[in-house]
Amino acid sequence: MVEKRRYLSLADNGFLITETEDSPKHIAGLLIFEKPKDADPDVVENLYKKWVTVDTVYPPYNLKLNASNPLTPYWTEDEDFKASNHLEFFTMPEGSTREALYKKVSDLHEPLTDQSIPLWRCYLIDGIGKDRFALYFRIHHCMMDGISGGKITEQSLATNVKDLDRPPFWAMEDNLYNRKSSRAKPKLLGRLINAATTNAKTAYGLSRISTQLCLEAVGLTTNAISLPFTSSKSALTGPVNNQRAFTTASLPMARVNHLQKIARNTLNHIALTCLDGALHRYLEHIGRPLEEPLTITMPVSLRREDAKVGGNQIGLVATKLAPQTDDPIIRLREIGVSLQNIRNQIDTSPASSIQAFSLVTNGVSQLVESASASQFVPPLSHTIVSNVPGPKKTLYVEGARLLEWYPVSTLGPGHRLNVTMFSYDGQLHFGLIAASAYLPDLNVLGDYIYDAFEELEAVVQSPDMGASLLAEKRKPKAVA
């Protein structure tokens, strides 16, 4: 029987090439559930015992990596798949806090994924309160991006509390990964024409972006996509070890949506305004303040609506946030302009050129990190921030209601922090993962995000647009 091979794209393979023991490249989700009423005390362990016997599996969960040639790795189907190789159940010690759960997630997120079996792991975690349990699921980034992961996970959960007969996610034959694209496959001539057209568009797009960046480098223009490798060094940038810290923050979507309407801005504008203010305050908290605008790398989806789910179809572009200010209105305005400009620039550039630009800039960043030359080369940006749209409806597993859904991402070359936002069932959830040896007290940053939101909300909704609030804040503090 001829072995069926599915070769990885260059973008997918990039997450394998850049992976090290200090910087694993898997992404994950932390899902927190409410146990069904009158549930058996061992309901979570029983769920594990039920799932661990299910060895029926469908792609992508049965795909095993063959990277004998690292330049042309490919997937093959695992003929000896065992659910027990991928599942684990444990109970947190009695009296464990939410912080203890986050510490456990940090520990689970640190080691490399075993490449001798399909590249995913699932942990069922009991003991986080009397009526709560968690599911932590991680998968290697070379298999899919966060948008694909969110969509496939959503499909595996039930929308009805009484739906108790769904198979576990790896045993769902009709998952989104295996659905055929609605586009007809072109014939040979069509494929040749498409390839030539794509190459021409990529070359045009890259030359256009390069020209704009060259003009910016000599001060003749300012672009939405920031000039790479011009950010200042900070506590957020530099080499890392394999120790991680994880924490979260959440904002109520009803209040976020109301604020959007009043301020006439998007969710991204509101969220990044809060994050920008919180990051500056956090850097002051750890004694490493930054007096210039933060530069963030943002993953942007390049996937067409009718494209197949799976793999990585994202571009990575850097943009500056707001100049240092204590006025949330100014911060919101500056960030709104930056994001609108970058959206326009991306929409007018071929997707292939954005992806090619991303591969080049992140490849250079990885070479700098691998050569331990970060002390000589400015960082690509200060941090990575992404926003993944999630389901608005309530979801369930075996009658247990999903209450919270937090993303747990990976660190990019030269970055010590990744912030990923995910909207679910009336909440905007932030998942923050960081190199704990360099960024202490990460939970404080989560608190600062909510504080920044409340401040922005108060300023926008006040009759004088926050003038009196800011005046009070700026009063010199009395010396005791």
- pLDDT grade, residue 208 (50/70/90)? low
325-348: string of b/e by CB count within 10 Å (b at 16+)? eebbbebbbbbbebbeebeebbee
User: Which has more pLDDT, 203 or 215?
Assistant: 203
pLDDT value of position 125: 98
Of 3.30.559.10, 3.40.250.10, 3.40.50.720, 3.40.50.150, the CATH number of 6-177 is 3.30.559.10
- pLDDT grade, residue 76 (50/70/90)? very high
On average, the pLDDT of the chain sits at 87
Mean of pLDDT values over 187-196: 56
Q: Identify the weakest region by mean pLDDT among 27-36, 162-171, 214-223, 318-327.
A: 214-223
Q: Identify the weakest region by mean pLDDT among 169-178, 358-367, 423-432.
A: 358-367
pTM of the model: 0.89
The yes or no reply on domain 206-390+409-471 and CATH 3.30.1740.10 is no
Mean of pLDDT values over 46-55: 97
Tell me the longest C-alpha to C-alpha distance in the chain: 82
User: Which has more pLDDT, 205 or 397?
Assistant: 397
Domain boundaries, the chain: 6-177, 206-390+409-471
pLDDT greater than 60 at residue 2: no
pLDDT value of position 18: 87
pLDDT value of position 216: 57
Would 6-177 and 206-390+409-471 be classified into the same CATH topology? yes
Q: Identify the weakest region by mean pLDDT among 37-51, 123-137, 368-382.
A: 368-382
**Nearest alpha-carbon partner for 169 in 303, 6, 54:** 54
pLDDT value of position 446: 96
pLDDT greater than 50 at residue 1: no
pLDDT greater than 60 at residue 385: yes
Q: Any residues with CB less than 8 A from the CB of 55 and at least 6 apart, and which?
A: 81, 82, 83
